[in-house]
Each structure stands twice: as structure tokens, then as C-alpha cells.
Amino acid sequence: MTKRRGNGEDSIYKDGERWRGAIHLGYDEKGRRVRKKVSGRTRAEVADKLRNLRKLVDAGTVPDDKITVKAFLDRWLAHNLPGTVAESTEDDYNDTVRLHLSPALGRKRLAKLTVLDVDKLWQAKREAGYSANSIRIMRTVLRKALGQAEREGIVPRNVGALSAAPHVVAKEGRTLTIDQAKTLLNTVTGHRFEIAIMIALAYGLRRGEVLGLRWSALDWDAGTVRLTHAVKRIKNRDKTSKRKTRLVLSELKTPKSRRTLVLTPQIVAKLRTLRVRQAEAKIAAGDLWKDHMLIFASEVGTPMDPDNFSHTFSKLAKRAGLGHWHPHELRHSGASLMLAQGTPLHVVSEILGHTSIAITKDVYGHLLVDDKRAAAEAMSGALFGA
């Protein structure tokens, strides 16, 4: 007599020319039995699928092969991404999904998404005029999201990671010459942004890093300042507020970006003067002063808006007769001037806060021609007596 299968057991049966199997997953909130089905051409194929499925269930992951790419990306943005990246990065990821990934791939079933589907998307973006770097960002977001799907067992492999990576060529940033830099510094003398611009240029800092410098990170005796925070503008998640964005003072993400700068005596002297002026402003502001311990604060102690800093800097550059410049070009200029003065590449890399010297070399390696020429001449002298 054939033994009757229990309700909690897996089943395999033939349905016409196909073999089918079902696995018991428990019961839903209404007490109805929940099962997941698989199919195959042979009984052995179905049995193998059920065994793999049972392993996933026993491990606590129940794959959903009906979920669409859009539904999964929305779930990932809401539940998996928060807390793993900075809020500003989270905002960028949300925009990338909303503007690029969901419109193109959203209606497809996640389990059936292929490498070809993704490669076609990158090709379409290239034909639409998007830069290689923009496509790289899209691929990064998709790869990170599908990594979660792979861990959950929804997909057997990460097709985002397997898709063709765009070839990104680092552009040579425009830089100030020494004469132009001196002209700029002379023009901003006495301006409230004078020292911020001076430090950004001397050390190749990003605008958010400059505006995030804090008095508590400054060692007057050693003449050093520690970079630990940056000012950023991010989307406002407070539903009760009418403002779409807000300023935040956030900790720098990587150990390399949290670095110590050795200040020159001239900069230390100017910071002492600024400290006195800020103390006077604090007294004048009274109860309106909100102390964030920022070296470069607003008239009431709050963080400065990076966009306002950019607009003002551009006006100052035009006043200096240099035309339109962006604060980020101070970073390129600082790196270029350091290398032109013979500063070793690894030191420049540390000052800029790059995660590796390879990044610095990729961006600024073309400025090391003189070093390469000197090395060639040294070898020529050693080998040929020239």
C-alpha cells in the first residue's frame, strides 16, 4: 500500500509531458497553506530543484521569482540600503533608480533579468548621450542592489556585476597657474572666504571638507588640523518640513579621507585672527548663535551652504580677471601645484585623501613628465655615461 504524503512534505508529480514539484512553506495570515512550485523535463531535474529550494528555505530565505525589478529595487531602497551608505549617497541611489533603472528594467521579472538586458540598457544610455561615468554610477547601483537579491536567493547570479563595465577615462581638470593662484589670493584678501579659499587651494580640499573644518580638530601647538567632517546638502526626510533639502555636517566616510593637514605659520596666524572675529560675531548674535564649532560658519554659527560658497567663489574669480571657476578646480589646482613643486606623488595622494595612490596617478600622472625625464637621464648617465 502506498504511503500517503503528509501536508508538510514536498511533492513531485507528472503533469502531461512535464514533471512538477511543490514545496510546503507554511501558512499565511489567513491559515491557508503556502506552497512554491517548480517544473522540469525529468523527475530528477525537479527533485534537484526542490532540494536546492529546501536548502534556501531552511536557511531562512524564500526566493520570490515573481517579483519585478522595480518592486525589488523599491524594497531594497526602503529596507536594505538605509544605514549602509551616507545619506547623500542614499539620495543619489534613489535618483538613479527612479530616473534610469526602474523606467528601463522595472517591468521585467527579477529572476529572468539577463546580462544582455543590462548591457542593452548601457548601450541605450550611451546612445542617449550619457557619459561613461554616469553609466558607471548606474551600474554600481544595480550591482549593489542585485547583490542583495543574490544573497536572498532570488537570483542565482548578479547580472549587474557581470554586465560590461563602461570604460571611464579620467578628464584632466583645469588648474590655476602659480601666477593665477597669486592673483586670486590677492583678490580675496580681507573677504570672509579668504582663509577657506586659501586652505582649499593649498591642500586641494573639497568644498564640503573646507566648510566642515572644526576648531576642536585644530592643534595650535602642533600647527595641524584634522579633517573629520564635511558639510553636505541632502534631501529632507522630514515630512512635516516644507524644505526639500537640508544641510548636514556628516563624518567623512573612509579612513583615508579622515586625515591630518600640517598648516603653514601664515595660515595658523590667519586662523587666530579668524577665531577672534568669530568670537565677536558670537557675542553680537547673542541667542541667535547656534554653535557647531565650525571654523567657517555662517553669521549665526550654522554650517555654510556649499552652493552659496560656490557662487561667491565664482564671483571672486571673475573679479580677479580669471573668468568662471568652481571651488572643485581649487582641488585640481592644489594637486597640480604640489606636484609642480616636487612633492612626491604618495604625499599628494595622502593630502588629497585618495583611497589609493593609483587614483592620484590616474588623475595627475600626466603632470609627472619632468620626473620621468629625470629618471631617464639618470639611467642614461649610469648606463651610457651620457
H-run or E-run covering 40: strand 33-40
- Please check the confidence at residue 147 and state whether its pLDDT lies above 90: yes
Helix (H) or strand (E) holding 371: helix 369-384
When computed from its CA atoms, the radius of gyration of the chain, rounded to whole angstroms, is 29
pLDDT at residue 8 in the model: 43
- 91-133 pLDDT, tens digit per residue, is 999 999 999 999 999 999 898 999 999 999 999 999 999 999 8
**217-242 mean pLDDT:** 90
Instruction: Give the lowest-confidence range in 95-104, 152-161, 165-174, 262-271.
Output: 165-174
pLDDT of residue 61: 61
Q: How confident is residue 3, by pLDDT bands cut at 50, 70 and 90?
A: very low
Mean pLDDT in residue range 302-322: 96
- For residue 5, the model assigns a pLDDT of 47
- Reply yes or no on whether the pLDDT at 363 is more than 90: no
Pick from 49-53, 215-219, 240-244, 315-319: least confident: 240-244
Residue predicted with more confidence, 160 or 50: 160
Check residue 28 and give its pLDDT.
56
At 325, which amino acid appears?
W
Residue-averaged pLDDT of the chain: 87
What are the Cα distances from residue 83, in Å, to 61, 76, 77, 145, 379? Answer: 22, 12, 11, 14, 53
Mean pLDDT of 29-47: 81
Element (H, E) at 11: strand 11-15
How far apart, in Å, are the Cα atoms of 288 and each of 163, 284, 296, 335?
Answer: 54, 9, 17, 39
Quote the pLDDT of residue 4: 45
CA–CA separation, 166 vs 138, rounded Å? 10
- Per-residue pLDDT at 288: 94
The better pLDDT of the pair 164, 36 is held by 164
Which residues, listed in sequence order, are joined to residue 225 by a DSSP beta bridge? 218, 261
State residue 374's pLDDT score. Answer: 64
Q: Other C-beta atoms within 10 Å of 83: how many?
A: 7
According to DSSP, the residues that pair with 226 across neighbouring strands are 260
pLDDT of residue 7: 43
Q: What is the pLDDT at residue 380?
A: 66
pLDDT per position as a tens digit, 337-346: 998 888 889 9
pLDDT score of 192 more than 80: yes
Residue 128 CB-density burial (10 A; 0-12 exposed, 13-18 middle, 19+ buried):
exposed
**What mean pLDDT comes out for the span 213-236?**
94
pLDDT at position 368: 66
Which cell is 38 given? 517548480
pLDDT, tens only, 166-182: 887 666 678 999 999 99
Is the model's pLDDT at 224 over the cut of 90?
yes
Least confident span in 23-32, 120-129, 142-151: 23-32
Q: What percent of the chain has pLDDT over 70?
A: 87
| Mean pLDDT on 45-57 | 83
Q: Where do we find the cell 525589488?
A: 72
Query: 42-46, 66-70, 129-133, 142-146: which has the highest mean pLDDT?
Result: 142-146
151 — pLDDT class (breaks 50, 70, 90): confident
More confident site: 263 or 111? 263
Given this model, what pLDDT does residue 174 score? 85
Q: Specify the pTM.
A: 0.70
